[in-house]
C-alpha cells in the first residue's frame, strides 16, 4: 500500500501537467482575430488572445520575443474569458478597416525603440491576414489609427 501512494501521486501530477499544456483543440469556424503584443524593452514574453463570434480566449502559454507560433493550432487558447470582457471587444471583428485587406503581411506605422508592436492575425471569409502595427501610427489613416487605438485600449 505504501508503494502505491507515491505511484498514484506521480500519475496525478503527470495528468495535471499534461492537461495544462494541451494545445487548442479546435480551429475556429468563421471569422476570427488573434491579437498579441510582441517585443518591447521589458516584454520578453508575448501574450495572445483569440476573438471569435462566440467568445474571447487567452493563450495559456508564453513565447519568447518573436517566437509566437505561425500555426493557429500551436497556440493554447484554453482560458475562456468572461462574457463581460468579450462584450467589450467583440466589435473588433467588424471594425477592421478595409484598407488593411490590401496590405496583408505588412508592418504598419513607424518604429519606436523599446515599444514592440501589436501582432494581429485574422481570418476573414476564409482568407488569412497578418499585420504588425508599430507604435507610431501618425502616418496611418484615421480608420487604422482608431483600430489600433481600440486594440491597445481593450487588450493592453
Compare 72 and 51 and report the one with higher pLDDT.
Answer: 51
Is 74 a member of any domain? yes
CATH code of the domain in which 74 resides: 3.30.1560
Is 7 a member of any domain? no
| Cβ neighbourhood burial of 86 (10 Å; 0-12, 13-18, 19+) | middle
Query: 110-113 — which CB contacts under 8 Å span 24+ positions?
Result: 110/134, 110/135, 110/136, 110/137, 110/138, 110/139, 111/135, 111/136, 112/136
How far is the C-alpha of 105 from the C-alpha of 117, rounded, in Å?
14
Helix (H) or strand (E) holding 9: helix 4-20
Q: What does the pLDDT average to over 21-48?
A: 72
Is 35 a member of any domain? yes
Secondary structure class of 122 (helix, strand, coil): strand
Is 137 a member of any domain? yes
Is 65 a member of any domain? yes
Main-chain dihedrals φ then ψ at residue 24, nearest 5 degrees: -55, 135
Domains of the chain: total: 1
- Residue 50 banded pLDDT, cuts 50, 70, 90: very high
Is 2 a member of any domain? no
Residues of the domain holding 54: 29-155
Amino acid 13: pLDDT: 40
pLDDT digits (tens, 9 = 90+) for 126-151: 999 999 999 999 999 999 999 999 99
Is 12 a member of any domain? no
Main-chain dihedrals φ then ψ at residue 151, nearest 5 degrees: -60, -50
How far is the C-alpha of 1 from the C-alpha of 3, rounded, in Å?
5
Nearest CA to 67 out of 89, 38, 41 is that of: 38
Is 62 a member of any domain? yes
Nearest CA to 52 out of 24, 77, 28 is that of: 28
- What is the pTM for the complete model shown? 0.79
Amino acid at each position: 500500500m505504501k508503494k502505491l501512494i507515491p505511484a498514484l501521486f506521480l500519475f496525478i501530477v503527470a495528468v495535471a501537467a499534461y492537461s495544462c499544456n494541451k494545445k487548442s483543440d479546435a480551429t475556429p469556424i468563421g471569422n476570427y482575430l488573434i491579437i498579441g503584443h510582441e517585443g518591447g524593452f521589458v516584454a520578453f514574453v508575448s501574450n495572445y488572445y483569440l476573438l471569435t463570434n462566440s467568445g474571447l480566449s487567452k493563450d495559456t502559454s508564453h513565447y519568447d520575443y518573436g517566437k509566437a507560433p505561425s500555426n493557429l493550432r500551436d497556440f493554447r487558447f484554453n482560458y475562456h474569458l468572461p462574457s463581460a470582457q468579450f462584450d467589450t471587444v467583440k466589435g473588433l471583428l467588424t471594425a477592421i478597416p478595409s484598407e488593411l485587406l490590401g496590405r496583408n503581411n505588412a508592418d504598419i506605422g513607424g518604429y519606436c525603440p523599446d515599444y514592440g508592436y501589436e501582432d494581429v492575425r485574422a481570418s476573414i471569409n476564409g482568407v488569412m491576414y497578418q499585420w504588425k502595427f508599430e507604435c507610431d501610427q501618425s502616418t496611418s489613416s484615421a480608420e487604422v489609427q482608431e483600430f489600433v487605438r481600440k486594440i491597445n485600449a481593450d487588450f493592453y
